[in-house]
A and B are shown apart, each in its own frame.
Chain A
Amino acid sequence: MEPTYSSNPDENLQAAEYVEKPESQLKVMWETLRLNKAAVAGLFIIGILALIALTVWLSELMGKQILPYDPNYADMTKSFIKPNAQHWFGTDQLGRDMFSRILDGTKISLFVGVTAVAISLTIGVIFGAIAAYRGGKTDTVIMRLMDMMLAIPSILLAIAFMAALGKGLDKAIIAIGLVSIPEYARIVRGSILSVKENDYVHAAKIMGNKTRRIIYKHILPNVISVIVVRATLGISSAVLDTAALGFLGLGVQPPFAEWGDMLGRARGFIFSAPYTLIFPGIAITITVLAFNLLGDGLRDALDPKSRIK
Chain B
Amino acid sequence: MLRYIIKRLLMLIPVLLGVSIIVFLIMRVFSPDPAPIVLGQHATQQAADAWRQVNGLNDPIYLQYYHYLKGALTGDLGTSYYTKLPVVKEIMSRFPATIELAFVAIILASFFGIVIGVISAVKKNSIFDNAGMFIALIGVSMPIFWLGILLIILFSGALHWLPSNGRINPLLAPAHITGFFLIDSLIAGNMDSFFDALKHIILPASALAMYSMAIITRMTRSSMLDTLQQDFIRTARAKGVPEGKVIRKHALRNGLIPIVTVIGLQLGSLLGGAVLTETVFSWPGIGAYTVECILKSDFPVVQGVVLLVATIYVLMNLIVDVIYAFLDPRIKYSKKEV
Binding site for B on A (CB under 8 A): 144-145, 147-149, 151-156, 159-161, 163-166, 236, 240, 243-244, 247-248, 250, 260, 263, 267, 270-271, 274, 277-278, 280-281, 284-285, 288-289, 292-293
Indicate whether B279 reaches chain A with its CB closer than 8 angstroms: yes
Contact B146 A270 (CB under 8 A): no
Chain A: which residue is nearest B305 at the CB level? A156
Q: Report the separation of the CA atoms of residues A62 and B139 in the bound assembly, to the nearest whole angstrom.
A: 39
Inter-chain contact A293/B27, CB cutoff 8 Å: no
| Extra pairs beyond A248-B276, A263-B145 (13, CB < 8 Å) | A153-B269, A160-B26, A164-B26, A164-B32, A267-B280, A270-B149, A270-B157, A281-B146, A284-B143, A289-B141, A292-B137, A292-B140, A293-B137
Against A, the Cβ 8 Å flags (1 = close, 0 = not) of B8-33 are: 00000011001100110011001110
The B108-166 residues at the A interface (CB cut-off 8 A) are 137-138, 140-146, 149-150, 152-153, 156-157, 164
Q: Give the CA-CA distance A159 to B305 in the complex, in Å.
A: 13
Provide the residues of chain B in CB contact with A278, threshold 8 Å: 150, 153
* Assembly CA distance A274 to B297 (angstroms): 33
Q: Can you list 16 A-B contacts with CB-CB less than 8 angstroms, sorted by A residue number?
A: A144-B15, A152-B19, A152-B309, A156-B272, A160-B27, A164-B27, A243-B145, A244-B143, A271-B157, A281-B142, A284-B146, A288-B140, A288-B143, A289-B138, A292-B137, A293-B137
Evaluate contact between B22 and A149: CB separation under 8 angstroms: yes
Within 8 Å CB of A164, what residues of B?
A: 26-27, 30-32
- Check A161 against B26 for contact (C-beta < 8 Å): yes
Q: How far is the CA of A292 from the CA of B211 in the complex (A)?
A: 13
Q: Taking A247-B145, A260-B143 as contacts, is the C-beta distance between A163 and B22 under 8 angstroms?
A: no
Q: Take A144-B18, A156-B309 as given contacts and tell me if A285 and B149 are in contact as well, using a CB distance cutoff of 8 Å.
A: no
Q: Are B18 and A145 in contact (CB under 8 A)?
A: yes
Closest beta carbon of chain B to A276's beta carbon, Å = 10
Which residues of chain A are within 8 angstroms of B138 by Cβ–Cβ distance?
285, 289
A149 to B19, CA, bound (A): 7
Q: Hey, which chain A residues are within 8 Å of B294, CB to CB?
A: 156, 159-160, 163
Q: Which of B15, B143, B164, B276 has the most CB of A within 10 A?
A: B143
- Check if B319 is an interface residue, CB within 8 A of chain A: no
Report the separation of the CA atoms of residues A240 and B142 in the bound assembly, to the nearest whole angstrom. Answer: 8
Q: How far is the CA of A292 from the CA of B19 in the complex (A)?
A: 31
B141 touches A153 (CB 8 A): no
A243-B143 contact, Cβ under 8 Å, with A160-B23, A163-B31: yes
Tell me if B313 is interfacial: C-beta within 8 Å of chain A.
yes
Q: Identify B143's interface contact among A151, A154, A165, A240, CB under 8 A.
A: A240
Neighbour of A155 across the interface among B137, B142, B272, B302, CB < 8 A:
B272
A96 to B144 alpha-carbon distance, docked (Å): 26
Chain B nearest CB from A112 CB (Å) reads 14
Taken together as a complex, chains A and B put the C-alpha atoms of A164 and B199 apart, in Å, by 38
Chain B 77-102 against A: per-residue CB contact (8 Å), 1 yes, 0 no?
00000000000000000000000000
Q: Are B272 and A154 in contact (CB under 8 A)?
A: yes
What's the minimum C-beta distance from B231 to chain A, rounded to whole angstroms? 18
Which residues, 273 to 289 on B, are CB-close (under 8 Å) to A?
Answer: 273, 275-276, 279-280
**A-B pairs with the 3 shortest C-beta distances?**
A153-B272, A281-B146, A148-B18
What A residues does B202 contact at CB under 8 A? none
From residue A273, how far is it (CB to closest CB) to chain B in Å? 10
B295 at the interface (CB under 8 A from A): yes
Note all chain A residues with C-beta closer than 8 A to B26: 160-161, 163-164
Identity of the chain B residue whose Cβ is nearest the Cβ of A145 in the assembled complex: B18
Q: Considering residues B146, B273, B275, B291, which has the most beta carbons from chain A within 10 angstroms of its beta carbon?
A: B146
A148 close to B275 (CB less than 8 A): no
Are B146 and A285 in contact, CB atoms less than 8 angstroms apart? yes
Q: Which residues of A contact B14 (CB under 8 A)?
A: 144
- By a CB distance below 8 angstroms, the chain A residues around B276 are 155, 244, 247-248
Q: Is the CB of B149 within 8 A of A148?
A: no
> From A38, which residue of chain B is reached at the shortest CB distance?
B137
Q: With A240-B143, A281-B150 in contact, is A152–B269 under 8 Å at CB?
A: no
Contact between A153 and B143 (Cβ–Cβ < 8 Å)? Answer: no
Given contacts A244-B143, A248-B291, contact A152 B137 (CB under 8 A): no
Whether the pair A281, B149 counts as a contact (CB closer than 8 A) is: yes
Q: Which among A144, A149, A151, A160 has the greatest number of chain B C-beta atoms within 10 A?
A: A151
- Across the interface, do A159 and B291 meet the contact criterion of CB distance under 8 Å? yes
Residue of A nearest to B20 (CB): A148
Q: How far is the CA of A284 from the CA of B138 in the complex (A)?
A: 11
Given A152-B306, A155-B275, A159-B294, do A292 and B149 touch, yes or no (CB 8 Å)? no
Across the interface, name the chain A residue whose C-beta is closest to B37.
A163
For B310, list chain A residues within 8 Å (CB). Answer: 148, 151-152
Which residues on the A side are within 8 Å of B152 (C-beta)? 270
Contacts of A280 in B (CB 8 A): 146
Q: Which residues of chain B have C-beta atoms less than 8 A from A148's C-beta?
A: 15, 18-19, 22, 310
**Of all chain B residues, which has the CB nearest A151?**
B310
- The residue on A at minimum CB distance from B157 is A271
The chain A residue with its CB closest to the CB of B164 is A270
CA distance A288 to B146 in the complex (A): 13
**Most chain B CB atoms below 10 A, which of A153, A243, A289, A293:** A153
